[in-house]
Amino acid sequence: MDFLSLLKKKEILLFDGALGTELIRRGIKPGDLPDKWNLDRPEVIREIFEQYYTAGSDLVQTATFRANGVALKRYEMAHLFENINTKSGKILKSVCPPDKCVIGDIGPSGEFLPPVGKASINDIKKGFQEQAQYLEPFVDAWHLETFSDLQEMKAAIFAVQIESNKPIIASMTYNKTPKGFFTVMGNSVIDCVSEIIDSGVTVVGSNCTLGSDDFIELVRVLRTIAPEIPLSLKPNAGQPELQNGVTIYKQEPKDFAKDMREILKYDGQIIGGCCGTGPTHIQLLREVIDKLTGG
């Protein structure tokens, strides 16, 4: 399904939930790269994709969050760059229903740009551009997610636009502070949204870090800054807790869905879940959306 047609057709689109959370439930070890499961355990990746579509997701993204050139080099997996991305694209494309969409997932490099770090902006751009090149044949749109550095987000947008003219959802991740919402790099939500819109993306959004309760306030701010552009909102299922060396999220799916119902009052056109969420959360969101839209 063409992403722009689907966005125009439906009042609210439902994104997927977390990938990492589902892999933890299936036994991935701490420190392992989830993206490599596209090659090592493709049947598991396929199962997760299918479960999200079955739960009601209109949009499901590839398992390629850390599959950019810079990040894979850090994991000593640069030689698997093309294989990981093309494999994930093929798996997701093969299970996507005709009335739904495949979203190409691109996350940050994991390196810091100057003045905080020494990463090269050109190397980062090249890594994103090549990742987009590998994923391009399989996807209907892009999700650049969990970026905390506005400079890197703009580099990623630029890199993807070189390889593709497909729509981009650009999602920053924010902390809630006494002075408002800021990334860990000190970028304000106002600066992020304004400059991202100027970069020519289709959807502006936020994901991760904050739970669904804090997203209620965040969406109010986002709508004030950007009253017209579609928003994508994927909060965590509460705040993480460490139990026996494993990160868990305790928010109940029904409480997550209740907060998301409140968020939809501010015209968040695309909603889903990030860390701690799974098919059950998405199924409840499907019910919320259908009740609101008569679907």
At 33-69, the pLDDT tens digits run 999 999 999 999 999 999 999 999 999 999 999 999 9
End-to-end CA distance of the chain: 18
- Nearest residue to 208 (alpha-carbon basis) of 275, 266, 143: 275
Please count the structural domains in the chain: 1
pLDDT of residue 240: 82
- At 117, list the tokens: 């770090």
Classify burial at 19, counting beta carbons within 10 Å of its beta carbon; exposed 0-12, middle 13-18, buried 19 or more: buried
What is the domain extent for residue 145?
3-293
Count H helices and E strands in the chain, helices first.
Answer: 12, 12
**Angle subtended at Cα 186 by Cα 112 and Cα 21, rounded to the nearest 5 degrees:** 65
User: What pLDDT digit, counting tens, does each position of 155-172 carry?
Assistant: 999 999 999 999 999 999
How crowded is the C-beta side of 258, counted as CA atoms within 13 Å? Answer: 7
Give phi and psi for 43, each to the nearest 5: -65, -30
CA distances from 212 to 8, 76, 198, 264 (A): 25, 35, 27, 12
Q: Do residues 81 and 130 lie in contact, with contact meaning Cβ atoms separated by under 8 Å?
A: yes
Q: Do residues 70 and 123 lie in contact, with contact meaning Cβ atoms separated by under 8 Å?
A: yes
- Residue numbers in the chain where pLDDT is lower than 70: none
pLDDT of residue 245: 72
SS3 230: coil
CA 202 to CA 198: how far, in whole Å?
A: 11
Classify burial at 115, counting beta carbons within 10 Å of its beta carbon; exposed 0-12, middle 13-18, buried 19 or more: exposed
pTM > 0.85: yes
Give phi and psi for 154, each to the nearest 5: -65, -35
Going by DSSP bridges, is the β-strand pair 270-271/13-14 parallel, antiparallel, or unpaired? Answer: parallel
CA 241 to CA 96: how far, in whole Å?
A: 33
The CA radius of gyration of the chain, in Å to the nearest whole number, is: 18
pLDDT of residue 199: 97
pLDDT of residue 20: 94
pLDDT of residue 114: 87
DSSP secondary structure letter of residue 245: T
Q: Which residues does residue 231 pair with via DSSP β-bridges, in sequence order? A: 204
**CATH number for 180:** 3.20.20.330
pLDDT of residue 258: 97
